């Protein structure tokens, strides 16, 4: 196959953003189509260069084809929508029923979150796994919250180390997720500004004290409500086909939920903190696509496993 046709298929592959087995099947199918067309054109006495040009013209825009195939494959089932929104629902219920302080319930939810995230990660990273993956970062955040409670010298010693390790861990997960699709990184990190917003509402000085736990009791129904909104957002995201609608949904829902947090915080979040959280939210939608571009350009060319071959049987 000529360089122009290989490049054409590469553009389609880069813009497909579907599961790896499906991606390989689509590319194999188009490859066979191109070979059939080239063979026919060459048999008609057309030169290879001219045949390639004609073939590309007949196929149409690579980006349009990739977008249409993405839309054919992107819509998840209702089951997948429920599975994807489950971590938000679980945390929503924990807070709505004020069960968040029961260590047993909290442990069950956390074990479920981590177990499901690990299972999904090692089973092809399906779309539903990314919301779970975001919550699996909670133990990392909890360790960070416990650090200020260490003896003074230890706190100063461990905080820089913790931040370096936590950021490195976050970066690794975001890079891996962005290799699948940058939109999933945004989906995964969507609750982050909302959780930070609630945390700063109950613990403005960054330390969890008895008073801040009492505030969690007070704000629990609203915290639960914000998780339930996130759950609905994720369910709608899974059911939508068009990419631009998915992006718009995440942006609008994220900003509205953050505004709701500020509203119910009743003045506990200062304007500058709110603006900072809005910027964090925008960062979630700007950094992943930029990271994807960087990964595609430099040494970080997207290295998705491409050795998959479609399941075939012998023709009769």
Nearest CA-CA partner of 138 in 176, 159, 102, 169: 169
Contacts with other proteins, 67-106, as mask; x by CB under 8 A = -xx-xxx-x-------------------------------
Phi first, then psi: give them for residue 181, nearest 5 degrees.
-175, 130
Query: Which residue of 5, 62, 129, 174 would you call a contact of other proteins, by CB under 8 A?
Result: 62
Max CA-CA distance within the chain? Answer: 84
C-beta of 149: minimal distance to other proteins in Å? 52
Q: In whole angstroms, how close is the CB of 33 to other proteins at the nearest point?
A: 5
Q: Nearer Cβ to other proteins, position 76 or 288?
A: 76
With H, G, I as helix, E, B as strand and everything else as coil, classify residue 61. Answer: coil
Binding of other proteins at residue 32 (CB under 8 A)? yes
Task: Determine the interface stretch with other proteins among 64-72, 219-227, 231-239, 299-307 (rule: CB under 8 A).
Answer: 64-72
203 touches 216 (CB < 8 A): no
* Rounded CA separation 91/231 (Å): 10
Q: Which one of 44, 103, 271, 315 is in contact with other proteins (CB under 8 A)? A: 315
Closer residue to other proteins, CB minimum distance, 29 or 49: 29
Q: Are 85 and 232 in contact (CB under 8 A)?
A: yes
Q: The tokens of 256 are what?
A: 């509205």
Instruction: Assess 60 for contact with other proteins (CB under 8 A).
Output: yes
Cα separation, 241 vs 252, in Å, equals 17
Candidate list 4, 64, 161, 252; residue touching other proteins; CB under 8 A: 64
Q: Which of 11, 59, 106, 249 binds other proteins (CB under 8 A)?
A: 59
Interaction between residue 314 and other proteins (CB under 8 A): yes
If binding is defined by CB under 8 A, does position 6 make contact with other proteins?
no
In angstroms, what CA-CA distances link 266 with 218, 258, 260? 12, 13, 10
Q: In this complex, which beta carbon is closest to other proteins, that of residue 67 or of residue 246?
A: 67
- Please select the residue that binds other proteins; options are 11, 19, 20, 25, rule is CB under 8 A: 25
Nearest to 197 by CA among 269, 245, 99, 256: 269
255-288 in b/e burial notation, b at 16+ Cβ within 10 A? eebbebbbebbeebbeeebbebbbebbeebbebb
Total binding residues toward other proteins, as defined by CB under 8 A? 30
* Residue 239 engages other proteins in binding (rule: CB under 8 A): no
Cβ of residue 78: shortest distance to other proteins, in angstroms? 14
Nearer to other proteins, 28 or 155 (CB): 28
d(CA 243, CA 246): 5
Q: How far is CA 138 from the centre of its chain?
A: 16
Binding span for other proteins by CB under 8 A among 23-31, 112-120, 149-157, 210-218: 23-31
Look up residue 105 and give its two tokens: 């319930």
Footprint on this chain of other proteins (rule: CB under 8 A) = 25-26, 28-30, 32-33, 35-37, 58-62, 64-65, 68-69, 71-73, 75, 309-315
């Amino acid at each position: 196959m000529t360089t122009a046709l290989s490049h054409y298929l590469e553009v389609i592959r880069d813009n497909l953003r579907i599961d790896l087995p499906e991606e390989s099947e689509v590319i194999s199918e188009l490859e066979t189509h191109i070979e059939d067309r080239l063979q026919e054109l060459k048999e008609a006495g057309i030169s290879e260069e001219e045949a390639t040009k004609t073939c590309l013209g007949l196929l149409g825009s690579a980006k349009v084809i990739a977008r249409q195939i993405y839309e054919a494959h992107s819509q998840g089932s209702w089951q997948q929508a429920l599975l994807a929104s489950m971590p938000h629902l679980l945390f929503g219920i924990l807070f709505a029923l004020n069960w968040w302080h029961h260590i047993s319930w909290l442990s069950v939810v956390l074990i479920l979150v981590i177990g499901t995230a690990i299972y999904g990660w090692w089973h092809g990273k399906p779309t539903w796994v990314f919301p779970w993956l975001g919550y699996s970062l909670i133990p990392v955040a909890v360790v960070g919250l416990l650090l200020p409670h260490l003896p003074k010298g230890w706190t100063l010693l461990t905080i820089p180390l913790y931040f370096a390790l936590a950021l490195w861990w976050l970066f690794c997960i975001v890079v891996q997720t962005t290799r699948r699709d940058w939109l999933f990184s945004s989906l995964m990190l969507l609750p982050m500004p909302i959780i930070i917003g609630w945390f700063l509402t109950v613990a403005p000085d960054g330390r969890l004290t008895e008073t801040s736990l009492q505030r969690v009791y007070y704000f629990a129904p609203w915290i639960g409500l914000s998780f339930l909104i996130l759950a609905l957002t994720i369910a709608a995201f899974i059911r939508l086909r068009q990419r631009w609608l998915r992006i718009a949904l995440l942006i609008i829902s994220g900003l509205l939920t953050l505004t709701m947090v500020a509203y119910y915080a009743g003045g506990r979040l200062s304007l500058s903190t709110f603006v900072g959280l809005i910027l964090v939210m925008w960062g979630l939608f700007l950094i992943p696509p930029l990271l994807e571009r960087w990964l595609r350009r430099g040494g970080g060319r997207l290295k998705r496993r491409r050795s998959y071959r479609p399941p075939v049987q012998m023709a009769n």
